[in-house]
């Protein structure tokens, strides 16, 4: 994994690090809400024979924010799930660097397009004020999760652009050196194996 903050100017590195820390704190703080809520739903419904009123409405808001902020963190750390085996097939630094640049560029283009659609979605919501679409029971405006979608997409696009900047800044040779440092090959036997 190539750390963006290690290869950008100091001021930008501090800003990026602050944004990542804030998103991480928000995701970590919101994560326990899901299992706690489902525990309460089961406990209230089957033990106390009560109901947790409209929990799915506020849980939807938290999930949208958490999902897209988590996606932004995945983009920053470059830990999205992929089935790319090219790094294990070839060690040609130019090929690996060009492949990574192409993948990051396609990711950036797609994210910017979807971000544009998200901004249009928010504009449409604002244009409907005061007749906003709202949840049925708690009357939470749908603009709340949609802002989370746009914020997450914005950070995904920003981090993809920063990855692209770093790739061009460090070049093919340095990229492969950093890539090799992140791959840890263990030479010690696994627990329980014979030596």
| Tens-digit pLDDT profile for residues 51-80 | 888 899 999 999 999 999 999 999 999 887
Contact, 65 vs 148, CB < 8 A?
yes
21 in a domain, yes or no? Answer: yes
CB 162 within 8 A of CB 4: yes
Contact between 27 and 152 under an 8 Å Cβ cutoff? The reply is: no
Q: How confident is the model at residue 179 (pLDDT cuts 50, 70, 90)?
A: confident
User: What is the distance between the terminal CA atoms of the chain, rounded to a whole angstrom?
Assistant: 32
Q: Which of 21, 8, 11 is nearest to 155 (CA)?
A: 21
How many domains is the chain built from? 1
The model's pTM is 0.85
Residue at 106 is within a domain: yes
Position 193 in a domain: no
Residue 173 counted as domain residue: yes
Distances from the Cα of 81 to the Cα of 63, 75, 78, 84, angstroms: 20, 10, 9, 9
Q: Which helix (H) or strand (E) holds 170?
A: helix 143-182
98-130 pLDDT tens trace = 989 999 999 999 999 999 999 999 999 999 988
Q: Which domain holds residue 48?
A: 4-182
In a domain, 192, yes or no: no
Report yes or no on 158 lying in a domain.
Answer: yes
Residue 154 in any domain: the answer is: yes
Q: Is residue 115 part of a domain?
A: yes
Report d(CA 59, CA 39) in Å as an integer: 13
């Amino acid at each position: 994994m190539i750390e963006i903050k290690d290869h950008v100017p100091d001021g930008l590195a501090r800003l990026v690090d602050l944004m990542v820390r804030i998103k991480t704190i928000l995701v970590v703080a919101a994560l326990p809400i899901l299992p706690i809520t489902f525990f309460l739903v089961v406990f209230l419904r089957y033990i106390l024979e009560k109901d947790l009123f409209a929990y799915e409405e506020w849980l939807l808001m938290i999930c949208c924010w958490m999902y897209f902020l988590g996606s932004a963190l995945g983009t920053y750390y470059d830990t999205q799930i992929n089935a790319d085996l090219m790094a294990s097939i070839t060690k040609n630094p130019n090929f690996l660097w060009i492949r990574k640049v192409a993948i990051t560029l396609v990711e950036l283009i797609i994210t910017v397009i979807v971000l544009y659609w998200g901004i249009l979605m928010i504009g449409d919501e604002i244009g409907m004020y005061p007749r906003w679409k709202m949840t049925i029971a708690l009357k939470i405006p749908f603009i709340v999760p949609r802002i989370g979608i746009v914020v997450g997409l914005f950070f995904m696009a920003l981090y993809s652009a920063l990855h692209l900047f770093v790739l061009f800044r460090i070049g093919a040779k340095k990229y492969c050196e950093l890539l090799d440092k992140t791959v840890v090959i263990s030479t010690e036997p696994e627990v329980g194996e014979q030596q």
